[in-house]
Amino acid sequence: MTVMTCNTAASIPALADDTSLARRYQGLLSGDDADSRQWLAARLAEVSTAADDLPDTPGELDAWSARHAARVARDHACYLEQRQQGAPRRYFANRSQALWFLQQVAPTKAVDGAWLHATLHHWQDPRYHGLIRTYLEELGDGDPRSNHVLIYQRLISRLGCLEPLPLDDQQYLQGALQLALGHYGESFLAEVIGYNLGYEQPPLHLLITTHELAELGIDGHYFQLHVTIDNAASGHAQKSIRAVQQLCPQGDPEVFYRRVRHGYRLNDLGTDTPSLISRFNLEGELLAALERKRRFGQFMHADRCRLQQRTVNQWLAEPGALPGFLQALQAQGWIKRGQNPTQSRWWSLIDGPSAPMFGVFSAYEKQLWHDWIAADWQAPLRRVLPGSWMPDVQALPGSDGLDGGSESIDSLIARMAGNQHAQPQGLRATRAYLRATGLAQEGPH
Ligand SMILES: [Fe+2]
Ligand SMILES: [Fe+2]
């Protein structure tokens, strides 16, 4: 729910106190956090009267999770069947929509796993080992090839989406919650366990997203990885249930389980994935990208560049003229919509190393142009296998296994926080923590 002011069209998120969610997220990320503890407590109070689908007691969670997994499997089979019979993609009409989605969820993906940070302190208590193992797997055990945050960042880099897209404030909500849960986890352990329970149950949208990204030639390794690692039989989903059951106090389960439920419900705050994806508007995104360029581009064109009697500089100088600019490009025959974009003159101006406007548009922006020009024309699909691009860890600094030194466990844990673990020092600290606690996973011998 948002409140629109009449003169600025700025939207005020219903959940914000006096701080925007983006600012709170950035504050938590940079370690400069003012009042996120109270903010988190307020969000928990807000969901305390909300409904959820959890069973009445922790003992019933296994059956609940099995039912959830069976429903997802059934719905997924139904989706695949529909696709086999020729139904179009359910989520992503084109590659632009997929790239847009990947950028919308980037603030959350950049802190994947952060909510579990405080569990690291409990390495001497075996009841926490499932949660700690989950967190260490999010961190890739300190191996940059397997660190979830780095896997996502590499994906975004490869797709040419490094330039941050202005996002709706709500897109920072889940990331801020995750960082706050990690930062204040010692005071909110039951809520952390509940949040983890909700986050780690593999949803249907994860399976559909994985399928459709591959179809669009986008490496879905990050998503495929979560299909396998979060599985309900032995993965993060199963560990999340075991943690609730093992840490629930025998004598007084009610208070603990109520707090678990509140943490679980935090997963429902913000926009759900299918609704978010359906908000994409191709022409709107193209116009927004052009508007961002307009301020820089309006003095850059020679006056002999004319389109429908106006110079390009004139088109770009006037706010609100960009829809007319798109019309003019078509009227002039520079863009032929509904055809292969490479046949449009405009495409040859923006794409390729010798294009006159080479480098003006990012890979994402060119994809917007491409898909807007193509409209109903379908490019042949280029399926890619998940994980087809992997860095060579041997070539990376700090991969010699000799790092970590003799730091105290507490200082290693501090560098493994959700806002630091993906940096070289955090990766080294993770490897040192594994050695110091004896929690490194052994392979089969
Ligand atoms: Fe993850
Ligand atoms: Fe997970």
Q: How confident is the model at residue 1 (pLDDT cuts 50, 70, 90)?
A: very low
Distance 230 CA to ligand 1 centre (A): 8
Q: How confident is the model at residue 16 (pLDDT cuts 50, 70, 90)?
A: very low
Q: Tell me how far the alpha carbon of residue 232 lies from the centroid of ligand 2, in angstroms.
A: 11
Residue with structure tokens 């909110």? 188
Q: How far is the CA of 137 from the centre of ligand 2 (A)?
A: 8
Each residue's pLDDT tens digit, 110-169: 999 999 999 999 999 999 999 999 999 999 999 999 999 999 999 999 999 988 899 999
Distance from C-alpha of 103 to C-alpha of 97, rounded to nearest angstrom: 10
How far does residue 226's CA lie from ligand 2's centre (Å)?
A: 6
Task: Detail the DSSP E strand segments found in 122-204.
Answer: none
Residue 226 CA to ligand 1 centre (angstroms): 6
Tell me, in angstroms, the distance from the centre of ligand 2 to residue 363's CA: 30
Cα–Cα distance measured from residue 367 to residue 97, given in angstroms and rounded to the nearest whole number: 9
User: 273 alpha carbon to ligand 1 midpoint, in Å?
Assistant: 16
Average pLDDT over residues 209-234: 89
Please name which of 117, 112, 107 lies closest in space to residue 22, comparing C-alpha atoms: 107
Q: What are the two backbone dihedrals, phi and then psi, of residue 57, each rounded to the nearest 5 degrees?
A: -135, 155
Ligand 2 center to 202 CA (angstroms): 9
What gap in Å lies between CA 71 and CA 52, rounded to an integer? 17
Question: Quick one: which of 391, 443, 439, 392 has its CA closest to 412?
Answer: 439
Q: State in Å: Cα 267 to ligand 1 middle.
A: 15
> 236 alpha carbon to ligand 1 midpoint, in Å?
9
Q: Are residues 283 and 374 in contact, defined by beta-carbon separation less than 8 angstroms?
A: no
CB within 8 Å of 191: residues ≥ 6 apart: 44, 181, 259, 260, 262, 263, 266
Which ligand number lies closest to the CA of residue 421?
A: 1
CA of 25 to the centre of ligand 1 (A): 19
Closest of 109, 117, 267 to residue 198, by C-alpha: 267
CA of 24 relative to ligand 2 center, distance in Å: 24
Say how many Å lie between the CA of residue 148 and the centre of ligand 1.
5
Q: How far is residue 249's CA from residue 13's CA, in Å, rounded to a whole number?
A: 38
Count of Cβ atoms closer than 10 Å to residue 300 Cβ: 13
At 248-270, the pLDDT tens digits run 998 889 999 999 999 999 999 99
Cα separation of 327 and 315, whole Å?
Answer: 12
Distance 414 CA to ligand 1 centre (A): 20
**What pLDDT is attached to residue 386?**
59
C-alpha 136 – ligand 2 centre gap (Å): 10
Rounded to whole angstroms, the Cα distance separating 132 from 443 reads: 18
Per the CB < 8 A criterion, the answer to whether 212 and 98 are in contact is yes
Q: Which ligand is nearest to the CA of 237?
A: 2
How far, in Å, is the centroid of ligand 1 from the Cα of 209? Answer: 15
In the three-class reduction of DSSP (H, G, I as helix; E, B as strand; rest coil), residue 375 is classed as coil
For residues 177 and 51, give the distance between their C-alpha atoms in angstroms, rounded to a whole number.
Answer: 19
Q: Is the pLDDT of residue 195 over 80?
A: yes
Instruction: List pLDDT tens digits, range 399-424.
Output: 444 455 578 999 999 999 999 999 99
Reduced to 3 states (helix: H, G, I; strand: E, B; else coil), residue 13 is strand
Residue 244 binned pLDDT confidence (cut-offs 50, 70, 90) = very high
